[in-house]
Each structure stands twice: as structure tokens, then as C-alpha cells.
Structure 1
Amino acid sequence: MQKSKLFNKLLLLLLVLLFISGCGNKAEDYRITNQNKIILRLAETRSPNYPSSQGAKEFAKLVEQKSAGRIKVMVYDSGRLGDEISVIEQVQFGGIDLARVSVASLVRYSPKAKIMTLPYVFKNSVHMWQVLSGPVGNDLIESLLKEKITCLTWYEAGTQGFYNSKRPINSIDDIKGLKINAQQSQVSIDWYLYLGASLVSTKASDLYSALQVRSIDGVEDNIIAYYLSRHYEVAPFFTYDEHARIPDMIIASRGTMLHLSQNDRAIIEQAAKESAIKQKQAWYEMEKEVLKHLHDLGVNIVYTNYQSSESFLSAVEPIYNSFKKEDLATIVNLN
């Protein structure tokens, strides 16, 4: 009788161990199909025709080509896997393999990303790409690796402007009192507060209706996002001031990359770099087309640069002062 009870207990323990073992391997094995193919998921928050989505699709195509169909990247656009913050968290523990995210969303994981969100820290696009390909960009990549995030490549994300439903913004004083939905970076939040705006956090999917019913007056974003979201229908005043150039990244889960063979990692890395070339081209072409369409639609676009205005300098000074001078010098003084 005792032997029977002991046998039953041992059998139960064995079943429990087998169950736990099966659960433990499930997270890794879901990527391998019956045909020994590898399936990876890539999260993209923008719409299917957005330049970064086009870049992600090119990346997926190149991976499949270079692996002779053995590796497939499934692109989930339009935020189907969550917003950028939740996506990055899932990338960290391997729930999502790959993602396209803004550097602004990575500030909480690396303080080194914060300096890239400063207003007018980059003189122009050429200056930004010099910085990203140099020590500053490499330092950020290394710091993210410690957070289980692998940077595969940089994507173009244009310049930030802002648009509103009330009036043209001809000076910084015109921003005072506006209810703005700003980018979710502390630098952007601080800047708008210093300028006298009120900040209202709204989900991206709710922005159109929020502008329509005037629960918010304006939004900070780039001109392509403005056009594709059709926000010009409810907020016809766009300020093209290029106050921030915040690049995007294609990131990968460190766990996923380590799980792949060295050859497969090389395929993923090379495909990402090659996709960035097409993504930049798609961005520049679409930006030109969008500006033309908006002009034809009669949208009021104010082209300006606040860098030399006294109001701007006063607003941005405390933000710049929160950074070490030597850190700023590595970017600002780069020729």
C-alpha cells in the first residue's frame, strides 16, 4: 500500500516536471515551425503606408530572400501588438522579437537617448546622421544592449512640427494657452510647459476626435503623420519649425538574437541595414508629395525656425542646462 502511494506521488511529480518543462520551452519553440522554419514578429505602430512600415516590409522581404525562405518576419503594423512603450517591454523579455520604435521611447532605458530629443540639437539631417554613425550613436547602442535591446539599424523619422485647430503660429507666444498633445519624452513635455502650453495626453487613435471636439487644440508630430491621419481636416494650421529630429530604430530582443545561429543573426543584421536605405528614400519622397498635397488642399503651413528668437532661447535654456556641457559638445560642436 505504501509502495503504491509512493509510486503515485513519484508519477505525479514527474508529470508536474514535464508540464513545467513544456511551459518553459514554449516561449522559445513557438518560432520554429514543423518545416524547421523560423518565424519572427515585428511590431510597428504606424499605418501600413507610412515610410517606416514600408521599411519594415522591405526588411522582412530581404530576410526571407537572404535565408532562402527559411526565416520569415511577420510585420504587425497599426499598433496591433501595442504602443511603443509596451512593445519595448515585450522586446526586452522576448515576447516580441523585433520592433520599430522612436529613440524618444527609449529614454527610460538609456539616459543617452535623451540628448537626441533636445530642440535644435541637430543642425540638419546631415548633422544628425553624422552623430548617429559616430561615438554618440555607438554609446547609445551599447547602453541599450545592457537592457536586453539590440539595435539593428537607424530609420529616418523626419522633423517634429506641430499643428492646431485655432490659429497660425507665427511666434512662440502664439503657443501660450494651447492644449497640446506632445511627444512622450520629458524634454518635449518640459519645452511645451516652458512655452506656456497645457499638455493633454491622448491615445493616437483618439486624436482626430479630440481635435474635432476641441478637447485638445494641437498635436506635436511630423508632416507625414499629419497628412496620413487626415488631421488637417480638423486642425488646418501646421507649423513647420523642425524643432526636433528624433530618429527611429529597428530593435531586436537580445534573447531572440542569442537564440539564432551566428549565420541567421548576420542575415537579420544585414537585411536591417539594407532596408534603412529604402526607408530613407521612401521618407524623403513621401515628404515632398505630402507637402504638395497639403498646399493644394489649402492647409496653412507656417515655415519658421525659433532657434534665434529670444523667447525660444529662454524656454530652452533650463532644458539644455540639465545636460553636462561635455555631453552637449559631442553633438553640438560636431562639424
Structure 2
Amino acid sequence: MKNKLVWLLAFIAMIFNISCVRKKPDTEYVFTYAENHPKDYPTTLGAFEFAELVEEKSNGRIMIDVVYDGKLGDELSVIKQLKFGGIDFARASISPLSNEVSILNVLQMPYLYRDEEHMWNVLYSEIGEEILAEFEGSGIVPLSFYTAGARNFYNNVRPIENIKDLEGLKIRVQQSDLMKDMVKMLGAEPVAQEYSQVYASLQRGVIDGAENNIPSYISAMHFQYAKYYT
């Protein structure tokens, strides 16, 4: 299902230093950036680039410590830590963020965009600005939109060529009421899980499949137990 996955890079305005990064002589501030994906994942590489640019533009005064692989907790936990100052920056997906800012659910609807160009035109328009403005008072300040590709279904039972092929499949979804309702309406059984649980659940047969993008499908090796990617 070609539902564009839009990531939102967000940070808390409050400064709270829990970093273990090695400070340089001219460093005045060290901020923590949480990422739940592995070191070589596209969004993690983007985080490293962000950290390098901040250090360069601040002449070494500001350093960003990128903590990847979900070492600071799952996305729901990270968002809570953002709000209370335990983490300074994070890349968080729309589903868990929608618990804080409900208008984000609009961006999770399937078939919302014609293509990637259409998506960016929408997000960087007045519509996107209105959505970001809804964060005011939430304790989180949004910086930009992020994408890791379109979300699609994959499973270990059969190819999904039409909606009927989803019937009866146990599909992992993010911890979002909208995502659970959508999968249920398509005829499958939604199973809300943390991203880190998906591989083991596929391996043990707790779920038949999941919905995610190509980078996640490959980097987390979900393809080993879910060969049908639609």
C-alpha cells in the first residue's frame, strides 16, 4: 500500500545534557539526539550529517551526540523524554507523535499523495505550516519533515495483490489507533508492537507480516521471515 511515510524531526527547547560524547576544548554545549534505527540507516546518516553541520556552523561551540539503535528507548518513550528535557533532539515518526498532536493523523492516511513531489509540495506549503503550528504548547518544537520512503505491506503467507489478500493476516502496526483501524478495515488483524519486536515476532510466528518502508525491511532483516513485499 503506497502510503508515504513522513518523519518529523522534533526537539525540546529545554536544554538538558545527558551526553557521553567527548567534548572538544571549545565546546560549550552538548545536546543528545535520539534515533531508533541502526548506524547505517538513512535517517541515522542524516542525523550524523546534522551533527556535523551544527558543529561546523557553531565553530565547535555546539556538539550533537547521536545515540542510535534505540538505546534511549522506543519512540513513545523518546517523545516523553523530549517533553521533559531528558533528550534534546529526536527523529520521531508520525504515528507516536500523533498521540501528542492529533492533526498529524491526517498525514498517515493511505493514498494521500500522487507521488513524492506532490508530498513535498504539500508539506512545505501553508498546509504544512498549519500542521507544524499545532505543536505549540505541546512541549515539542518541530524542525522539519523527513521521509524514509513509502510504507508497504510484507508478510510470509502470500503476495498481496488486492485487498482480499489481506484477510486474516496478523499485521504489525505502529502504536497508533488510526493505523490499527485502517488495517482492521482492510480485513487484516492489527498487532500493535514496538519496532524492535517485529523481527522476533515474525520469527516466532506471532505475526504474519508488517507494514513499513524498504530501508526498514532490509536493515532490520525482516525479509528473512517475510518474503512477500507488496
Q: TM-score, normalised by structure 1?
A: 0.60
The whole-number CA distance in structure 1 between the counterparts of 2:121 and 2:198 is 34
| Alignment partner of 1:97 is 2:88 | yes
| Alignment partner of 1:45 is 2:46 | no
Q: TM-score, normalised by structure 2?
A: 0.86
Q: 2:171 aligns with which of 168, 176, 180?
A: 180
RMSD of the TM alignment (CA)? 2.0
Q: Deviations over 1:22-75 (max 9, x none)?
A: xxxxx9574797966100000001111111001000000000111111100000
Q: 1:113 aligns with which of 93, 101, 104?
A: 104
Partner of 2:137: 146
| Alignment partner of 1:229 is 2:224 | no
Contact kept, 8 Å, 2:180 with 2:192, in 1: the verdict is: no
Q: 2:188 aligns with which of 197, 201, 218?
A: 197
Q: Deviations over 1:74-117 (max 9, x none)?
A: 00011111111111111112111000011222112222211110
Amino-acid identity (%): 39
Higher Cα Rg: structure 1 or 2?
1
Cα distance change of structure 1 residues 139 and 236 upon mapping to structure 2, 3 Å threshold: same
| Alignment partner of 1:163 is 2:148 | no
Contact kept, 8 Å, 2:16 with 2:88, in 1: the verdict is: no
1:145 Cα deviation after fit: 2.6
The whole-number CA distance in structure 2 between the counterparts of 1:149 and 1:142 is 11
Contact kept, 8 Å, 1:164 with 1:217, in 2: the verdict is: yes
Contact kept, 8 Å, 1:183 with 1:221, in 2: the verdict is: no
Q: 1:69 aligns with which of 44, 60, 72?
A: 60
- What's the secondary structure of 2:134's corresponding residue? helix
Cα distance change of structure 1 residues 124 and 71 upon mapping to structure 2, 3 Å threshold: same
**Structure 2 counterparts to residues 1-335 of structure 1, below 5 A:** 30=17, 37-239=28-230
Residue identity in the other structure for 1:193: K
Cα distance change of structure 1 residues 214 and 143 upon mapping to structure 2, 3 Å threshold: same
Greater helix content: 1
The whole-number CA distance in structure 2 between the counterparts of 1:144 and 1:203 is 24
Cα distance change of structure 1 residues 30 and 178 upon mapping to structure 2, 3 Å threshold: closer
Listed as ranges, the gaps of 5+ residues in structure 2 are 1-13
Listed as ranges, the gaps of 5+ residues in structure 1 are 1-26, 240-335
